[in-house]
Amino acid sequence: MDTVLSLFDRLVALTAALVRIVCIVLATALFVIVVAAVIARYGFGQAVSWTEEVPRYLLIWISFLAAASCVLRREHVGFDVLFNALPNGPRRVLGTALSLLVFGFGWIVFRYGITFVQDFGSDLMETIPYTNYWYYPAMPISGFLIMLFSIKVMIDELRSKEAGAIAGASVETVGMEQRP
C-alpha cells in the first residue's frame, strides 16, 4: 500500500510541477503578446487584431490551471478561525470533508466542462479563423486536476497525525516551523 501511495505522491508532484511550468509559459506568452501589441499600436500605429483575443484566452487557461494548482497547496481563501480552534481529531474529519466538497466541485467543473466543449467548441473565435476547441478544454482539464489534487489532500489529511490548515498551508508544511 505504501508503494502505491508513494507512486501516487510522485505522480501528483510531477503533475503539479508540470501545471506550474505551463502556467509560467502561458503567462510569459501573455506578457510578450501584450507588450508587442502595445509597441505595434503606439510605436508603429498598427493594431494587430488577434493581440486582444489571444491574451484573453491565455488568461483563461492560466486562471483555471492556477486554481487547480492552489487546491494542492491549499492557497485558496478560507475562513479558518473556527477550524483552527477545533481539536485535532475533528479538524482532520472536517478537513477531509472539505476536501471531499472540493472534489465534488472539481467533478462539476470536469463534467460540465466536457459538455461546454462539446456544445461550443466548434464556434469560431472572434478575430482569427480557429475554433474554440483549443481553449475551452481548460475547464475539464482543470476539473480533473482539482479532483486529483483534492484526493491527494484527503489522503495526506488521513495519513497525517496532525490536521492541516484549510487555507494557506499544505498538510506537508504543518508543524515544520517547529523543526530545527
Segment 33-80, tens digit of pLDDT: 999 999 999 988 888 888 888 999 999 999 999 999 999 988 877 777
Q: N- to C-terminal Cα distance for the chain?
A: 31
Give me the residue spans of the domains in the chain: 2-168
Residues sharing a CB contact under 8 Å with residue 174, sequence separation 6 or more, in sequence order: 160, 162, 163, 164, 165
Confidence bin at 171 (pLDDT 50/70/90):
very low
Question: Which letter does DSSP use for residue 47 in this model?
Answer: -
Provide the grid cell at 167.
Answer: 487555507
DSSP string over 57-72: HHHHHHHHHHHHHHHH
Q: Mean pLDDT over all residues of the chain?
A: 86
Confidence grade of residue 115 (pLDDT, cut at 50, 70, 90): very high
Q: Looking up cell 505504501, which residue turns up?
A: 2
pLDDT tens column, 3-39: 998 999 999 999 999 999 999 999 999 999 999 999 9
Name which of 133, 113, 117 is nearest 125 in CA terms. Answer: 133
Dihedral pair phi/psi, residue 165, rounded to 5°:
-85, 150
Q: Could you tell me the pTM of the whole model?
A: 0.84
Q: Provide mean pLDDT across the span 137-156.
A: 94
C-alpha grid cell, residue 68: 487547480
User: CA 121 → CA 57, 137, 139, distances in Å?
Assistant: 13, 9, 12
